Amino acid sequence: MSQIFIRKQITLLLTGFCVLILNSPIQSQQKDVCIALHGGAGNISKATLTEEEQNAYKEKMVEALKVGYEVLKNGGSSVDAVEKAIRVLEDSPLFNAGKGAVYTANGTIELDASVMCGKSLKAGAVAGVTIIRNPISAAIKVMTLTPHVMLIGKGAEDFALAQKLDTAGPSYFYDEKRWLQYLEKKEKGELTSGNKNIIFGTVGVVAMDKEGNLAAGTSTGGMSYKKNGRVGDSPIIGAGTYADNRYGAVSCTGHGEFFIRNVVAYDIIALKAYKGWSIEKAARYVICDKLKKQGADGGVICIDSKGNISASFNTSAMFRGYINKKGEMKVDIF
């Protein structure tokens, strides 16, 4: 064989190899992205919220979805999308997270948040923080920069300060509507106030990025008129938040004590993992059967490992929305 012939063969082989690489699974493995969020569940009727109020909630949810979706479309990670979308909701006084958080029995605010990465199974959380503007960002820093999962109170705040995260004082967090709610509860001396007209208002986001990686995050001011130091399910991995690429991502809202006792987010994942149920069936069972029988109000949003989105709630309403793999967007309340 002549040298020229061999060279030609090698060139042909290399060309074929390049074509193979271009058409390789690495390219075709790129997933269609999707994102879903909730802004809390509650037993409210359409009459409780004016048309104008409903539109305000919907507009904010659309804004948050678009911000998260943009991150995903540009090749950003699901964790990044969860952070960016939750920050929009935390910055809005409409939701019980960040600005707009409910007051404790002492008239202070104590914020909780958590995040979980479905690829690494790493997680981060903060609880009982009072000066961190966007607790979700602090939770992500805990996940990425420390060997821990949860930091609480002053330690979490010192850590956030060291990371140069934005802080704010009581005047930033003050919201007249929340303060009036607090005064009303104080007069009645209620720790929790029955089922009527409560909007839990916690926010949560689940997302799938181009790599097919899932993430879930949740942020809250907790239950209105809660005892100081009370921590709900939202910052507890497995209770309020869970993500595992193999099964799905879940973010919860509702009466936290029940969600902790029932390990709700992980229970939904476990039903899929061990019983082979779809995430939707698992969520419906846990929320609408198991929790309902215990008198616990709340709901969840989920994305499964294939990017199917679902929402389950046992209340009359849940602020929720999604942009699915086809790019279709929907927001809803009732």
Active centre residues (catalytic): 202
From the number of C-beta atoms within 10 Å of its C-beta (0-12, 13-18, 19+), residue 26 rates as exposed
x-marked contacts with ligand ASP along 40-59 as a string, rule CB under 6 A: x-------------------
User: Is the separation of the CB atoms in 241 and 218 below 8 Å?
Assistant: yes
Site for ligand ASP (CB under 6 A): how many residues?
A: 15
Give me 71's structure tokens.
């991150």
Mapped onto helix, strand or coil, the DSSP state of residue 254 is strand
Q: How far is CA 243 from the centre of its chain?
A: 10
x-marked contacts with ligand ASP along 2-41 as a string, rule CB under 6 A: --------------------------------------x-
In the complex, least distance from residue 321 CB atom to ligand ASP, rounded to whole angstroms: 16
Give the binding range for ligand ASP (CB under 6 A) out of 52-60, 135-143, 155-163, 250-258. 250-258
Q: Strand order of the sheet with strand 111-117? A: 150-152, 123-129, 111-117, 214-220, 203-208, 34-42, 317-323, 329-332
Residues 6+ apart with CB under 8 A from 189: none
In the complex, least distance from residue 233 CB atom to ligand ASP, rounded to whole angstroms: 5
x-marked contacts with ligand ASP along 210-249 as a string, rule CB under 6 A: ----------x-xx--------xxx---------------
User: What are the beta bridge partners of residue 63?
Assistant: none
Residues 6+ apart with CB under 8 A from 169: 131
In the complex, least distance from residue 229 CB atom to ligand ASP, rounded to whole angstroms: 13
- Where does 26-106 show beta strands of DSSP type E? 34-42
Give me 9's structure tokens.
């063969």
Give 221 or 248: the residue with its C-beta nearer to ligand ASP. 221
Of residues 92-151, which lie at the interface with ligand ASP (CB under 6 A)? 96
In the complex, least distance from residue 41 CB atom to ligand ASP, rounded to whole angstroms: 7
Residues that bind ligand ASP (CB under 6 A): 40, 96, 200-202, 220, 222-223, 232-234, 253-254, 256, 259
